[in-house]
Amino acid sequence: MPAAGKSEFTSVLPDGRHALIGVIHLKPLPGSPRWQGDFPAISKSAVADARAFEQGGADLLVIENFGDVPFTKGAVPAETVAAMAVASAAIRATVRLPLGFNVLRNDAHAALALCAACGGSFIRVNVHTGAMVTDQGLIEGHAFETVRLRQRLAPTVNLFADVLVKHASPLGDLPIEIAARDTVERGLADALIVSGTGTGVATKIDDVRRVRAACPDTPILLGSGVTAANVGGYLEFANGFIVGTSVKRGGDIAKPVDERRVVALRKALAA
């Protein structure tokens, strides 16, 4: 769905098939509590995961500072952005897949800056519109600032926005279909992400149905809990799947990406 003011907008999602978007969970970066002092090891791990995703049939990659818990609800430190840029450069030198950024917990400014500097094609924004109560406290969406900054820094970048994001609850009784419609029509999101309650938790099929009914022309992506065994139930309603946990060795989020699991999921998407 073209966003107003983006004359050269092109969707980064593939035509004619369901998108498989692999998540690169970066290990703890400089400045975070679990930082181990070995950045080459972080880049090596990220590159290995990226290569496994590409060889397994993924369409896109999204890079996250996943190891930097606890997250801030505001802007991340400069060292986080610098480290993500270096890691993404190593990934870019190895694979040809389009790259995107999700700067946790909700730093869309940093994500757009990374896209502009590193040739990124999309960003993920956890709270783009509305307000959510999270483990970081109350996070408010900044759609006004984000879409204007995108126009200045990276006008062709796609904006993927979560609807009632995981690890959070809406401030007030907000039906998911209303939140979805507002995110598209008032927040100008290019695609919507629907997820379960937490990382690795399956998405409720009724939530996906409701979002699809509310936004019939907008790409819908599933953001958690997708496996080769359950993905078939979502194919009717979703355009793509953001996958991390289930394609790790043994389904363990702390382990490397298993190319064979990526292949199995890619085959399930074509079933």
pLDDT tens-digit readout, 141-151: 999 999 999 99
pLDDT tens-digit readout, 169-217: 998 889 999 999 999 999 999 999 999 888 888 899 999 999 999 999 9
Q: The whole model's pTM is what?
A: 0.94
Q: What integer pLDDT is reported at residue 271 of this predicted model?
A: 76
For residue 257, list its beta bridge partners.
248
Instruction: Specify whether the CB–CB gap between 27 and 71 falls below 8 A.
Output: no
Gap between the Cα atoms of 245 and 260, Å rounded: 14
* Overall average pLDDT of the 64-84 stretch: 98
Place of tokens 């993905």: 231
Which residue segments constitute the domains of the chain, with CATH numbers given?
19-269 (3.20.20.70)
* Residue-by-residue DSSP string for 103-136: -TTT-HHHHHHHHHHHT--EEEES-SSSEEEETT
